A and B are shown apart, each in its own frame.
Chain A
Amino acid sequence: MSNVPYILRRTVSAILTIFAIIILNFILFRLLPGNPITLLYRSPALTSRQIALLTSEFGLNQPLWIQFVIFFKNSLVGNFGISFFYKEPVTTVIIPAIKNSLILLIPANLLAILLGMFTGAVSAWRRGKKVDGTILGVSLALYAMPTFWLGSMLIVMALYVGGIPVEGMYSIGALSQNFLARFLDFLSHLALPLITLTLVLYGEFTIVMRNSLLDVLSEDYIVTAKAKGASDSRILWKHAFPNGLLPLVSLIAISFGLVIGGVMFTEIVFSWPGIGFVTYTAIFMRDYPVLQGAFFLITITVVLANYFADFVYGYIDPRIRYQ
């Protein structure tokens, strides 16, 4: 019960942040030179009557604050207009793309987090030993490695081995096959992007976990646990590990929050039809409605991920719950 006010405060601050995002999203695109009419119809044959008609149709003759109210309402219901390029509502373009991204991102993150937590903890516990050196070396190398380079190398290897698809989500014609065949086809397409993303994320999780745990292991309460007669594994997993996890929670939140930007390179390299790939193409097509929708969603995911992290913090760290 005592953590209700904390959650309430975090909720209010998350909602306020989303409002601020909508306002910024409105202002930023108004700051661009020209207006949607000049962007849409660059034909010099356009008469001033036609321009006036379009302007009133788009509501651009209304005062700015009325435009804002309309924009605000539309943002809240997820209406970002029609894509210039796809000629479809922005949501119809973005939502399947986000689903595709999450299919890639969630397993990659979970794998990287679990592997990173475990190897990071082992590394800290065996500080200065051979195991530590190996884990740290591999993590640093993976952390420093550019995503597109790692992806490209995997593609080269896959082509050398043969039989592993290197682009897209499905083979041509796969959608007409039965469920099992389709699923296996999907998994084979998922393999390389999943490995790439997992490896890229893994390094950072390991290093953060290791450093955080090294700090914790030098705390007095670890000596207390030892003085009670606790075994090494009890000290590591019951006393040190939960405390070492705290900094990792915010890192996990940020990494989930950066869904779109973070997976962009992987999606581009493997032509994975996710939100990163869609954003990337939208920039080239100057597809402003899609960009606006994508920006809104990027920021919303960041806010929600942080909100979730705050919630998790409140659950695992009693010192935060009561503040």
Chain B
Amino acid sequence: MIEIKELVVKYKSSKGEVYAVDGLNLEIDSGLIFGLVGESGSGKTTLGLSLLRILPPTAIIESGNVLISGTDVTKLKESEMRKWRGKKISMVFQGAMNSLNPLMTVEEQVAEPLIIHENMDKDQALLRAKENLENVGLGENILKRYPHELSGGMKQRVVIAMAIIEHPSLLIADEPTTALDVVTQHRIMKLFRRLKDEFGVTIILISHDLPIVAEVADKVAIMYGGKMSEVGDAKEVVTQSKHPYTQGLIRSIPDPRSTKVIRGISGEPVSLMNPPKGCRFYDRCSQRRDLCKTYDYKPAILENRHLVYCNLFEERMA
């Protein structure tokens, strides 16, 4: 179980402070695939990096708590936190990009967590790396290769093999299928499902692509402007979305069988430099009301633990 309480993460820049995650609350049950969806700049990657505390030097966790199976990782010493990284919590980055070291072979990189955490000797670690790569569907011929010799899909599976070699209880996957073709995307998603079923790993799937997430996730959280918009059962959020932002997202998904004109969400994403008081989506919302200007982000709890962060549901507010 992961509990995020009133988490605030800010970036310092020469122009001012940017609150990428701003007073966020979220509960994630163990053993689920949890989708975290939002547009660029909504704070979803920052949230992921905060769980591992590997934020860039310009960012700091200003306040709030992140409890992972009861331990507050924001309070851990750096030396303790390092023991968690790659062992209890792993992260999968967008593998098609630059997330593998170009000068190290695949097997060396996959085996590295074992050498770091278990002090395992190299031969034994390489053997385990081989088994793990087989587990994600990569054969022996890949072991001695370098990242530039692999396709995007292969690299992505290497990154996943590396992240699960220590059997972590939490796996954070940040845009794991972006820039991959649809067939490979599907294959990677099936792999995540299998990891959850076989090893009971909790997976946080960060993506901007709601349809792909909905395909595999058990629960989904929609983020906007550093705050939550809607959290609930994946199917329910997609089919019975309540928040105007989620509804807008779903309307903007193209459907090849339909000739309907796609309606996007008008306006620009909210600036996190000087965010407005009240609802972050106010400027772009088609159903806004005056009291939205002072909305305090108390969610409405609908049936089935479906949370909606919107004034339209105030009457059901707990």
Which A residues are closer than 8 A to B by beta carbons?
Answer: 219-221, 223-231, 234, 239, 242-243, 316-319, 322
The answer to whether A220 and B98 touch (CB under 8 A), given A227-B54, A229-B113, A322-B149, is yes
Nearest neighbor of A227 in chain B, beta-carbon distance: B91
Tell me if B116 and A230 are in contact (CB < 8 A): yes
Interface centre among B83, B104, B162 (most CB of A within 10 A): B104
Tell me if B116 and A318 are in contact (CB < 8 A): no
Nearest neighbor of B149 in chain A, beta-carbon distance: A322
Q: In the complex, A316→B104 CA distance in Å?
A: 10
Question: Could you write out 12 A-B pairs with CB less than 8 Å apart?
Answer: A221-B99, A221-B102, A227-B54, A228-B116, A229-B82, A229-B83, A229-B85, A229-B86, A229-B113, A229-B116, A243-B102, A319-B146
B103 at the interface (CB under 8 A from A): yes
**C-beta contact mask, B137-157 vs A, less than 8 Å → 1, else 0?**
000000000101100000000
The answer to whether A228 and B86 touch (CB under 8 A), given A220-B97, A243-B101, A243-B102, is yes
Chain B neighbourhood of A319, CB < 8 A: 102, 146, 148
Chain B neighbourhood of A220, CB < 8 A: 93-94, 97-99
Nearest neighbor of B105 in chain A, beta-carbon distance: A318
Least distance between B90 CB and chain A CB atoms (Å): 7
Tell me if A224 and B99 are in contact (CB < 8 A): yes
Chain A neighbourhood of B146, CB < 8 A: 318-319
Chain A neighbourhood of B104, CB < 8 A: 239
Across the A-B interface, how many residue pairs have beta carbons closer than 8 Å? 70
Chain A neighbourhood of B99, CB < 8 A: 220-221, 223-224
Task: Summarize A's interface: helix, strand, loop or mixed.
Answer: helix
B277 at the interface (CB under 8 A from A): no
Chain B neighbourhood of A318, CB < 8 A: 102-103, 146, 148
A223, A228, A243: the one within 8 Å of B113 (CB): A228
A225, A227, A231: the one within 8 Å of B90 (CB): A227
Tell me if A227 and B112 are in contact (CB < 8 A): no
B87 at the interface (CB under 8 A from A): yes
Least distance between A56 CB and chain B CB atoms (Å): 62
Least distance between A129 CB and chain B CB atoms (Å): 11
Closest 6 A-B residue pairs measured CB to CB? A228-B86, A229-B86, A229-B85, A318-B146, A220-B98, A227-B91
Least distance between A21 CB and chain B CB atoms (Å): 34
Additional A-B contact list (17), CB under 8 Å, known A223-B54, A227-B93 = A220-B98, A221-B100, A221-B102, A223-B93, A224-B100, A224-B162, A225-B101, A227-B52, A227-B85, A228-B116, A229-B87, A229-B116, A230-B112, A231-B116, A239-B101, A318-B102, A318-B103
Q: In the complex, A220→B99 CA distance in Å?
A: 5
B195 at the interface (CB under 8 A from A): no
Interface centre among A221, A226, A228, A234 (most CB of B within 10 A): A228
Chain B neighbourhood of A225, CB < 8 A: 101, 112
Nearest neighbor of A243 in chain B, beta-carbon distance: B103
B84 at the interface (CB under 8 A from A): yes
Chain B neighbourhood of A243, CB < 8 A: 101-103
B85, B94, B102: the one within 8 Å of A228 (CB): B85
Tell me if B101 and A228 are in contact (CB < 8 A): no
Q: In the complex, A292→B101 CA distance in Å?
A: 47
Tell me if A229 and B117 are in contact (CB < 8 A): yes
Least distance between A246 CB and chain B CB atoms (Å): 9
Tell me if B162 and A228 are in contact (CB < 8 A): yes
Chain B neighbourhood of A230, CB < 8 A: 86, 112, 116
Interface centre among A221, A224, A316, A322 (most CB of B within 10 A): A224
Tell me if B102 and A229 are in contact (CB < 8 A): no
Chain A neighbourhood of B90, CB < 8 A: 227
Q: Which of B61-88 contact A (CB under 8 A)?
A: 82-87
B159 at the interface (CB under 8 A from A): yes
Least distance between A323 CB and chain B CB atoms (Å): 10
Chain B neighbourhood of A229, CB < 8 A: 82-87, 113, 116-117
Q: Which of B35-54 contact A (CB under 8 A)?
A: 52, 54
Least distance between A219 CB and chain B CB atoms (Å): 6
Chain B neighbourhood of A317, CB < 8 A: 102-103
Interface centre among B52, B97, B101, B102 (most CB of A within 10 A): B101
**C-beta contact mask, B102-116 vs A, less than 8 Å → 1, else 0?**
111000000011001
Nearest neighbor of A224 in chain B, beta-carbon distance: B99
Chain B neighbourhood of A219, CB < 8 A: 98
Chain B neighbourhood of A221, CB < 8 A: 98-102
Least distance between A285 CB and chain B CB atoms (Å): 50
Chain B neighbourhood of A224, CB < 8 A: 91, 93, 99-101, 159, 162
**C-beta contact mask, B158-196 vs A, less than 8 Å → 1, else 0?**
010010000000000000000000000000000000000
Nearest neighbor of B98 in chain A, beta-carbon distance: A220
Chain A neighbourhood of B162, CB < 8 A: 224, 228
Nearest neighbor of B104 in chain A, beta-carbon distance: A239
Q: Which of B280-314 contact A (CB under 8 A)?
A: none
Least distance between B193 CB and chain A CB atoms (Å): 22
